[in-house]
Amino acid sequence: MQPRRFYVIGDPIAHSLSPVMHAAALRTLGLPHVYEAMRVTSDELPSVFDRVRRGSIHGLNVTVPHKVAALALLDVTTDECAATGAANTVFVDPTGRLVGANTDVEGLRADLVAHGLSPKRALVLGAGGAARAAVVACSTLGADVSVAARRDEEALRLVRVVGRGRAARWDALSANDPFDLVINATSAGMAGGSDGEAIAAAFERAPRTEDAVAYDLVYRSPLGVRTTPLLARASALGHRSIDGLGMLVEQGARALSLFLGAAPVSAEARAAMRAAVTEAIGRAFDG
């Protein structure tokens, strides 16, 4: 079998553990393909997509800040892309068309269900591509979704684009009805510092049910810190907290099946993906 080459692209991208995760899946599946990280600026994005179209790259996972900009470079998109206005997976179909998918929606929905969550009122913090996926995922589970961003106009724009949910004012979260799920859909917890603390403070002032859950899409905290500011604050307040590792695995497994044009990735390969990321995070802290 001729080895294929896949990448995760973003800017920044050095933090990504997707290569570790996908390498574990490919080994488990007995496939010779290669999956690597590539830093790509906004100006470089069109040329990288052209490489996929020409076949020198066989698939891309797309992360911050390119999920929305990717749409303009694609020939066709899935329904989830249309719903979110963002793409995180790019590949060429058998007819030669450049296809965009959004596996974040399915990945988050699957992980919420795996944790036994069926939210009634969800608050999504953020207004980028990941936030759009979170809004769609929660709404498909039947939740009434509110969106808040530090720039209120961005939350309003997200709601208009996605056509679901409602915008909440960042400085007036306490005026809302209680939420039973709060999702950080920004990279603030990864960056740490004041940005992460701003997300934690938003959680604290938002009205919450007694059994409210904090979910942070960030799966890897700053070096030397084992949790994100949001999850640390939520735990201190007595709330259940969940990081984004499960979503990372689920969306990655779906993307890999699209790259391979195959059936869903096996439970064995998913377990290998989770174990590889968990081990890599442990090494970072222990080192």
C-alpha span between 81 and 88 (Å, rounded): 9
**Are the C-beta atoms of residues 87 and 71 closer than 8 Å to each other?**
yes
Amino acid making up residue 129: G
CA 136 to chain centre: 12
DSSP 11-42: SS-TT--HHHHHHHHHHHHT---EEEEEE--T
C-alpha span between 126 and 85 (Å, rounded): 15
Question: Residue 42, Cβ neighbours under 10 Å: how many?
Answer: 10
Q: Which among 58, 119, 145 is positioned nearest to 93, based on CA atoms? A: 58
CA angle 5, 28, 15 (to 5 degrees): 55
In sequence order, which residues have a C-beta less than 8 Å from that of residue 43 and are 6 or more positions away? none
Q: Which helix (H) or strand (E) holds 5?
A: strand 5-10
Q: Give the burial class of 192: count Cβ atoms within 10 A of its Cβ; 0-12 exposed, 13-18 middle, 19 or more buried.
A: middle
Is position 120 annotated as part of the catalytic site? no
Question: Residue 279, Cβ neighbours under 10 Å: how many?
Answer: 13
Q: Identify the active-site residue in 67, 121, 254, 274.
A: 67
Q: Which helix (H) or strand (E) holds 100?
A: strand 98-101
Peptide bond preceding 222: is omega within 30 degrees of 0, i.e. cis?
no
What number of H helices and E strands is found in the chain? 11, 12
| Residues with catalytic function | 67
